[in-house]
Amino acid sequence: MLVLVIECAPPKLYGFCSSWALQVATGVYVANLPAKTREEIWDQVKTWSDAETRAIMLWSAPSNEQGLASAQIGEPRRRVVEYEGLLVSTWIPREAVNGTSPKENP
């Protein structure tokens, strides 16, 4: 199983992803593909990404307790990081990203 989430990508990248996976929400693609194909897709995502593109790919990996592995590019506000051998999701508040206080940014 593979899940790819892309944001702020060039239109051709969205089209490319729609050609091999089921789009279940805006920018969210799901497929069941072999490892070699997954690697080729990730290489294409990296090639077609621009400075604004944010992407994360998660796939089945039986080598760890959760059974997941991930790769990401860009600087999303929600990040998947490894913590004590587990993948966890962290969230960066908008204020930290924009450098504004909550009162300035409704």
- Print the domain residue range for 39: 2-75
CATH of the domain at 46: 3.30.70.240
Query: Where do the H-state alpha helices sit in 1-106?
Result: 11-20, 35-48, 94-98
For the chain, the straight-line distance linking the first and the last C-alpha, in angstroms and rounded, comes to 38
Q: Is residue 48 part of a domain?
A: yes
Q: Is residue 82 part of a domain?
A: no
pLDDT confidence of residue 97 = 57
More confident site: 96 or 15: 15
Angle at 40 between CA 82 and CA 86, to 5 degrees: 10
pLDDT confidence of residue 90 = 85
More confident site: 65 or 17: 17
- What CA–CA distance (Å, rounded) separates 94 from 50? 22
Q: Is residue 6 part of a domain?
A: yes
Per-residue pLDDT, averaged over 29-49, amounts to 96
Q: Is residue 93 part of a domain?
A: no
Q: State how many domains the chain has.
A: 1
Q: Is residue 19 part of a domain?
A: yes
Give me 63's structure tokens: 């080598």
Q: Which residue, 98, 97, 46, 96, is CA-closest to 72?
A: 46
The pTM assigned to this predicted structure is: 0.79
pLDDT at 59 over 50: yes
pLDDT at 2 over 90: yes
Q: Is residue 96 part of a domain?
A: no
